[in-house]
Amino acid sequence: MKEITRTPIVILNFKTYLESTGEKALNLAKISQEVAEETGVNIAVAPQHADLLRISGQMSIPVLAQHVDAVDAGGHTGSVLLESVKEAGASGTLINHSEKRMKLADIQQVVKKATEQEMISVLCTNNIETSAAAATLQPTFVAIEPPELIGSGIPVSKAEPEIVEGTVDIMHQINPDVKVLCGAGISTGEDMKAALDLGSEGVLLASGIVLAEDPKKALLDLVSKI
Ligand code: G3P
Protein backbone atom coordinates (compact mmCIF):
# COMPACT_ATOMS: atom_id res chain seq x y z
CA MET A 1 0.00 0.00 0.00
CA LYS A 2 2.92 2.35 0.84
CA GLU A 3 4.34 2.57 -2.69
CA ILE A 4 0.91 3.02 -4.25
CA THR A 5 0.19 6.00 -1.98
CA ARG A 6 3.66 7.58 -2.44
CA THR A 7 3.37 11.35 -2.87
CA PRO A 8 3.45 13.60 -4.75
CA ILE A 9 0.86 11.63 -6.69
CA VAL A 10 -0.98 12.28 -9.96
CA ILE A 11 -4.34 10.51 -10.37
CA LEU A 12 -5.54 10.61 -13.98
CA ASN A 13 -9.32 10.15 -14.09
CA PHE A 14 -10.29 8.72 -17.49
CA LYS A 15 -13.99 9.53 -16.88
CA THR A 16 -16.11 8.39 -19.88
CA TYR A 17 -14.32 10.24 -22.67
CA LEU A 18 -14.09 8.23 -25.92
CA GLU A 19 -10.39 9.22 -25.93
CA SER A 20 -9.95 7.09 -22.79
CA THR A 21 -12.26 4.17 -23.50
CA GLY A 22 -11.39 0.60 -24.49
CA GLU A 23 -8.13 0.24 -26.44
CA LYS A 24 -7.62 4.01 -26.13
CA ALA A 25 -7.80 3.63 -22.36
CA LEU A 26 -5.04 1.02 -22.52
CA ASN A 27 -2.92 3.30 -24.71
CA LEU A 28 -3.36 6.21 -22.29
CA ALA A 29 -2.49 3.96 -19.35
CA LYS A 30 0.69 2.86 -21.15
CA ILE A 31 1.61 6.52 -21.72
CA SER A 32 1.00 7.21 -18.02
CA GLN A 33 3.26 4.32 -17.07
CA GLU A 34 5.99 5.51 -19.46
CA VAL A 35 5.94 8.97 -17.84
CA ALA A 36 5.93 7.45 -14.34
CA GLU A 37 8.96 5.32 -15.24
CA GLU A 38 10.82 8.20 -16.97
CA THR A 39 10.24 10.71 -14.17
CA GLY A 40 9.81 8.60 -11.02
CA VAL A 41 6.55 10.41 -10.22
CA ASN A 42 3.74 8.26 -8.80
CA ILE A 43 0.99 8.27 -11.44
CA ALA A 44 -2.26 6.33 -11.00
CA VAL A 45 -5.03 5.90 -13.57
CA ALA A 46 -8.79 5.60 -13.02
CA PRO A 47 -10.43 3.98 -16.08
CA GLN A 48 -14.05 2.90 -16.48
CA HIS A 49 -14.98 -0.38 -14.80
CA ALA A 50 -15.12 -2.28 -18.11
CA ASP A 51 -11.49 -1.32 -18.79
CA LEU A 52 -10.04 -2.17 -15.36
CA LEU A 53 -8.91 -5.72 -16.12
CA ARG A 54 -7.67 -4.81 -19.63
CA ILE A 55 -5.39 -2.22 -18.03
CA SER A 56 -4.41 -3.68 -14.65
CA GLY A 57 -3.22 -6.88 -16.32
CA GLN A 58 -0.56 -4.93 -18.28
CA MET A 59 0.40 -2.14 -15.86
CA SER A 60 2.64 -1.78 -12.83
CA ILE A 61 1.26 1.67 -11.94
CA PRO A 62 -1.76 1.85 -9.59
CA VAL A 63 -5.17 1.41 -11.25
CA LEU A 64 -8.22 2.81 -9.43
CA ALA A 65 -11.96 2.40 -9.98
CA GLN A 66 -13.93 5.62 -10.56
CA HIS A 67 -16.68 4.48 -8.17
CA VAL A 68 -18.01 1.52 -6.21
CA ASP A 69 -21.46 1.10 -4.71
CA ALA A 70 -22.21 0.71 -1.00
CA VAL A 71 -23.37 -2.90 -1.39
CA ASP A 72 -22.23 -6.24 -0.08
CA ALA A 73 -22.27 -9.48 -2.05
CA GLY A 74 -25.80 -10.54 -3.00
CA GLY A 75 -28.78 -9.34 -5.01
CA HIS A 76 -27.75 -5.86 -6.19
CA THR A 77 -28.21 -5.96 -9.95
CA GLY A 78 -26.27 -3.31 -11.81
CA SER A 79 -24.28 -2.26 -8.77
CA VAL A 80 -20.48 -2.31 -8.62
CA LEU A 81 -19.11 -4.49 -5.78
CA LEU A 82 -15.80 -3.48 -4.22
CA GLU A 83 -14.58 -7.07 -4.36
CA SER A 84 -15.22 -7.14 -8.13
CA VAL A 85 -12.99 -4.13 -8.86
CA LYS A 86 -10.36 -5.60 -6.53
CA GLU A 87 -10.44 -8.87 -8.49
CA ALA A 88 -10.17 -6.78 -11.68
CA GLY A 89 -6.86 -5.44 -10.41
CA ALA A 90 -7.87 -2.11 -8.89
CA SER A 91 -5.75 -0.94 -5.93
CA GLY A 92 -8.53 1.37 -4.76
CA THR A 93 -11.34 3.65 -5.82
CA LEU A 94 -12.50 7.23 -6.16
CA ILE A 95 -15.50 7.86 -3.90
CA ASN A 96 -18.18 10.57 -4.13
CA HIS A 97 -16.78 12.25 -7.23
CA SER A 98 -18.87 15.34 -8.05
CA GLU A 99 -20.09 13.48 -11.14
CA LYS A 100 -21.11 10.48 -9.00
CA ARG A 101 -22.30 11.94 -5.69
CA MET A 102 -23.17 9.54 -2.82
CA LYS A 103 -25.08 9.69 0.47
CA LEU A 104 -22.97 10.16 3.61
CA ALA A 105 -23.87 6.72 5.00
CA ASP A 106 -22.84 5.07 1.71
CA ILE A 107 -19.57 7.00 1.62
CA GLN A 108 -18.76 5.81 5.14
CA GLN A 109 -19.57 2.20 4.21
CA VAL A 110 -17.34 2.25 1.12
CA VAL A 111 -14.39 3.95 2.86
CA LYS A 112 -14.62 1.44 5.74
CA LYS A 113 -14.81 -1.54 3.37
CA ALA A 114 -11.93 -0.27 1.23
CA THR A 115 -9.77 0.05 4.35
CA GLU A 116 -10.74 -3.46 5.49
CA GLN A 117 -9.78 -4.77 2.03
CA GLU A 118 -6.48 -2.81 2.16
CA MET A 119 -7.50 -0.69 -0.82
CA ILE A 120 -6.90 3.03 -1.43
CA SER A 121 -9.86 5.37 -0.90
CA VAL A 122 -9.84 8.78 -2.63
CA LEU A 123 -12.78 10.64 -1.13
CA CYS A 124 -13.82 13.62 -3.29
CA THR A 125 -15.13 16.77 -1.62
CA ASN A 126 -16.36 20.14 -2.91
CA ASN A 127 -15.48 22.60 -0.12
CA ILE A 128 -13.73 22.94 3.23
CA GLU A 129 -16.78 21.87 5.23
CA THR A 130 -17.27 18.60 3.38
CA SER A 131 -13.51 18.02 3.60
CA ALA A 132 -13.77 18.35 7.39
CA ALA A 133 -16.55 15.77 7.42
CA ALA A 134 -14.50 13.52 5.13
CA ALA A 135 -11.54 13.65 7.54
CA THR A 136 -13.54 11.82 10.19
CA LEU A 137 -14.14 8.90 7.80
CA GLN A 138 -10.37 8.29 7.56
CA PRO A 139 -9.95 7.77 3.80
CA THR A 140 -6.45 7.45 2.32
CA PHE A 141 -6.86 10.72 0.42
CA VAL A 142 -9.33 13.61 0.38
CA ALA A 143 -9.50 15.23 -3.08
CA ILE A 144 -10.93 18.75 -2.95
CA GLU A 145 -12.55 19.69 -6.28
CA PRO A 146 -14.85 22.71 -6.72
CA PRO A 147 -17.37 21.35 -9.26
CA GLU A 148 -17.68 24.67 -11.09
CA LEU A 149 -14.01 24.45 -12.16
CA ILE A 150 -14.12 20.83 -13.37
CA GLY A 151 -13.44 20.67 -17.09
CA SER A 152 -12.98 24.43 -17.19
CA GLY A 153 -9.24 24.53 -17.73
CA ILE A 154 -9.20 27.11 -14.90
CA PRO A 155 -6.97 25.47 -12.23
CA VAL A 156 -8.29 25.34 -8.68
CA SER A 157 -4.74 26.01 -7.46
CA LYS A 158 -4.94 29.48 -9.05
CA ALA A 159 -8.68 30.25 -9.07
CA GLU A 160 -9.49 29.15 -5.50
CA PRO A 161 -6.17 28.62 -3.62
CA GLU A 162 -7.91 29.34 -0.31
CA ILE A 163 -10.10 26.24 -0.70
CA VAL A 164 -6.98 24.08 -1.09
CA GLU A 165 -5.15 25.75 1.81
CA GLY A 166 -8.29 25.58 3.97
CA THR A 167 -8.69 21.87 3.27
CA VAL A 168 -5.02 21.20 4.09
CA ASP A 169 -5.37 23.15 7.36
CA ILE A 170 -8.58 21.42 8.45
CA MET A 171 -7.10 18.02 7.61
CA HIS A 172 -4.02 18.74 9.75
CA GLN A 173 -6.35 19.73 12.62
CA ILE A 174 -8.79 16.82 12.39
CA ASN A 175 -6.83 13.92 10.93
CA PRO A 176 -3.21 14.59 9.84
CA ASP A 177 -2.92 11.01 8.49
CA VAL A 178 -5.30 11.85 5.62
CA LYS A 179 -3.44 13.21 2.58
CA VAL A 180 -4.98 16.08 0.61
CA LEU A 181 -5.15 16.18 -3.17
CA CYS A 182 -6.76 18.87 -5.27
CA GLY A 183 -8.39 18.81 -8.69
CA ALA A 184 -10.42 20.73 -11.26
CA GLY A 185 -8.91 22.57 -14.19
CA ILE A 186 -5.39 21.32 -13.48
CA SER A 187 -3.39 20.81 -16.68
CA THR A 188 0.16 22.23 -16.56
CA GLY A 189 3.36 21.95 -14.57
CA GLU A 190 2.65 25.42 -13.17
CA ASP A 191 -0.77 24.25 -11.95
CA MET A 192 0.73 21.19 -10.27
CA LYS A 193 3.54 23.20 -8.63
CA ALA A 194 0.97 25.71 -7.33
CA ALA A 195 -1.10 22.83 -5.92
CA LEU A 196 1.92 21.40 -4.08
CA ASP A 197 2.96 24.85 -2.84
CA LEU A 198 -0.51 25.20 -1.28
CA GLY A 199 0.18 22.08 0.79
CA SER A 200 -1.60 19.42 -1.25
CA GLU A 201 0.27 16.17 -1.90
CA GLY A 202 -0.92 15.66 -5.45
CA VAL A 203 -3.59 16.26 -8.05
CA LEU A 204 -6.65 14.58 -9.56
CA LEU A 205 -7.19 15.57 -13.20
CA ALA A 206 -8.82 14.51 -16.44
CA SER A 207 -9.44 16.69 -19.50
CA GLY A 208 -6.08 18.48 -19.53
CA ILE A 209 -4.42 15.15 -20.29
CA VAL A 210 -7.15 12.91 -21.75
CA LEU A 211 -8.20 15.51 -24.36
CA ALA A 212 -4.67 16.83 -25.04
CA GLU A 213 -3.38 16.68 -28.63
CA ASP A 214 -0.29 14.91 -27.23
CA PRO A 215 -1.16 13.33 -23.84
CA LYS A 216 2.43 12.22 -23.18
CA LYS A 217 3.76 15.76 -23.75
CA ALA A 218 1.01 17.16 -21.50
CA LEU A 219 1.76 14.62 -18.75
CA LEU A 220 5.51 15.28 -18.92
CA ASP A 221 4.81 19.02 -18.59
CA LEU A 222 2.43 18.39 -15.67
CA VAL A 223 5.16 16.67 -13.63
CA SER A 224 8.05 18.82 -14.91
CA LYS A 225 8.14 21.18 -11.93
CA ILE A 226 7.87 18.65 -9.12
O1 G3P B 1 -11.51 13.74 -11.23
C2 G3P B 1 -10.85 14.90 -11.65
C3 G3P B 1 -11.74 15.70 -12.50
O4 G3P B 1 -13.00 15.89 -11.93
C5 G3P B 1 -11.12 17.03 -12.87
O6 G3P B 1 -11.55 17.28 -14.16
O7 G3P B 1 -11.16 17.86 -16.49
O8 G3P B 1 -10.99 19.63 -14.70
O9 G3P B 1 -9.22 17.86 -14.90
P10 G3P B 1 -10.67 18.22 -15.11
With beta carbons less than 8 A apart as the criterion, state whether 14 and 50 touch. no
* CA dist., res. 194 & res. 18, Å (int): 30
**186: CATH:** 3.20.20.70
Query: In this prediction, what percent of the chain has a pLDDT beyond 90?
Result: 96
Tally of domains in the chain: 1
CA of 102 to the centre of ligand 1 (A): 18
CA of 177 to the centre of ligand 1 (A): 24
pLDDT of residue 125: 98
CA of 73 to the centre of ligand 1 (A): 31
* 19 given a catalytic annotation: no
3-state secondary structure of 97: coil
Query: Exposed, middle or buried: residue 91 (CB in 10 Å: 0-12, 13-18, 19+)?
Result: buried
With beta carbons less than 8 A apart as the criterion, state whether 181 and 201 touch. yes
CA of 11 to the centre of ligand 1 (A): 10
Query: In this prediction, what percent of the chain has a pLDDT beyond 70?
Result: 99
Per the structure, the complete domain to which residue 78 belongs is given by 9-222
* 145 given a catalytic annotation: yes
Does some domain include residue 3?
A: no
Does some domain include residue 203?
A: yes
Ligand 1 lined by 204 (C-beta under 6 Å): yes
Sequence length of the chain is 226
pLDDT of residue 164: 97
Ligand 1 lined by 126 (C-beta under 6 Å): no
Ligand 1 lined by 205 (C-beta under 6 Å): yes
Does some domain include residue 131?
A: yes
pLDDT of residue 1: 53
CA of 74 to the centre of ligand 1 (A): 33
Instruction: Give the chain's mean pLDDT.
Output: 96
Ligand 1 lined by 135 (C-beta under 6 Å): no
Give the model confidence (pLDDT) of 45-76 as tens digits.
Answer: 999 999 999 999 999 999 999 999 999 999 99
Ligand 1 lined by 186 (C-beta under 6 Å): yes
Does some domain include residue 108?
A: yes
Give the model confidence (pLDDT) of 100-143 as tens digits.
Answer: 999 999 999 999 999 999 999 999 999 999 999 999 999 999 99
Ligand 1 lined by 46 (C-beta under 6 Å): no
Does some domain include residue 2?
A: no
For residue 63, give the DSSP letter: B
Mean pLDDT for 86-96 is: 98
Mean pLDDT for 134-155 is: 95
* CA dist., res. 49 & res. 14, Å (int): 11
Does some domain include residue 217?
A: yes
Q: Which of 10, 11, 15 to mutate to test the pocket of ligand 1 (most atoms within 8 A of CB)?
A: 15
